Amino acid sequence: GAAIVGGVCGQPIKHSMSPVIHNAWIAAAGLDAVYVPFAPAADRFETFVDGLRGGAVRGVNVTIPFKERALAMADTASDLARMAGAANLLLFAADGSVHADNTDGPGLLGAVETQAPGFDAKSAPVVILGAGGAARGAVAALLLAGAPEIRIVNRTLARAQELVDAFGAKVVAVEEAALPGLLADAGLVINATSLGLGGGEGPAADLSLTPKTAVVMDMVYKPLRTEFLRRAEAAGLRTVDGLEMLLRQAIPTFEAIYGVAPSADVDVRGLALTLLGEA
């Protein structure tokens, strides 16, 4: 058959780890395929997507700042993408149509499954710090996984309220001042803000207030061990890192674009750690 072209689209794109990950899986599978980074000008995203209609490129990941616009360009969308209001994956069919999906949420659940085995999303409330695109994807996936309540804490309360309006009764927006009480019976605490990125201080949350059975996750993966995760460790809690989320997101993405499961023999985490300068 014809060679398969996939890729990732963002602005900027040069720091994306996705090309290294997907091209390693392509090589291991011996596929006649490639995965290419694209960086359309910010006002040319729609032109870029329209240019791919017809399927010369099978699928593209979409990252900052195009995830919402990607969903808007799609003819059909998965429940998760619609719930999240954002797509991180566009698939192009031969008939010219575009299908949107969101694998960020499943990536989050997969990362928790890998690094905190036995965690049950149905067992206790979830606290999410942040209300941006990443938080939306997390809320969608956690609701589908049966989380009983999701508490959103965000610097801009109105943005947290938008998530409540979008997702309904199981999602509540809470003032930062109420955080201590919210942590006391939480099963999962997630940093979905960009705080801690590049080594700064993470979000202010006293993680010693959570039950000892709680799991703490950071979506930020630069650095890998964020200050937030180090505080969780110091409190004796299980932790899940943002790199695992990124890697787990890539698995269903690869399957959707290339039609085969990625080989478990490729050490993609090792490759990513090298790129991050953490190996």
**Site stretch for ligand NDP (CB under 6 A), options 52-60, 153-161, 208-216, 269-277:** 153-161
Decide: 160 and 173 in contact? Cβ < 8 Å. Answer: yes
* Residue, CB closest to ligand NDP: 132
How far, in whole angstroms, is CA 261 from its chain's centroid?
Answer: 19
Closest approach, Cβ 183 to ligand NDP, in A, equals 17
Question: For residue 51, what are the CA distances in angstroms to 7, 45, 162, 228?
Answer: 14, 10, 33, 42
Q: List the x/- string, 38-67, binding to ligand NDP by CB under 6 A.
A: --------------------------x---
φ, ψ (nearest 5 deg) of residue 76 = -135, 155
Site for ligand NDP (CB under 6 A): which residue of 219, 237, 257, 268? 219
Question: For residue 141, what are the CA distances in angstroms to 119, 121, 248?
Answer: 15, 10, 14
Decide: 87 and 105 in contact? Cβ < 8 Å. Answer: no
| DSSP for 70-99, written as a single string | HHHH-SEE-HHHHHHT--SEEEE-TTS-EE
Site for ligand NDP (CB under 6 A): which residue of 16, 102, 103, 193? 193
Shorter beta-carbon distance to ligand NDP: residue 99 or 248: 248
């942040």: which residue's tokens?
Answer: 130
Question: For residue 33, what are the CA distances in angstroms to 29, 64, 81, 238, 257?
Answer: 10, 25, 26, 38, 10
Site for ligand NDP (CB under 6 A): which residue of 40, 132, 148, 252? 132
Alpha-carbon distance 243 to 272, whole Å?
8
Asked if 221 is part of the footprint of ligand NDP (rule: CB under 6 A), the reply reads: yes
Asked if 152 is part of the footprint of ligand NDP (rule: CB under 6 A), the reply reads: no
**Site stretch for ligand NDP (CB under 6 A), options 94-102, 115-123, 149-157, 166-174:** 149-157
Q: List the x/- string, 66-105, binding to ligand NDP by CB under 6 A.
A: --------------------------------------x-
Tokens in use for 133? 């695109």
Shorter beta-carbon distance to ligand NDP: residue 5 or 248: 248
Residue 222 falls in the annotated catalytic set: no
State the catalytic residues.
Answer: 67
Question: Where along the sequence are the contacts to ligand NDP (CB under 6 A)?
Answer: 64, 104, 107, 130-135, 154-156, 159, 192-195, 197, 219-221, 242, 245-246, 249
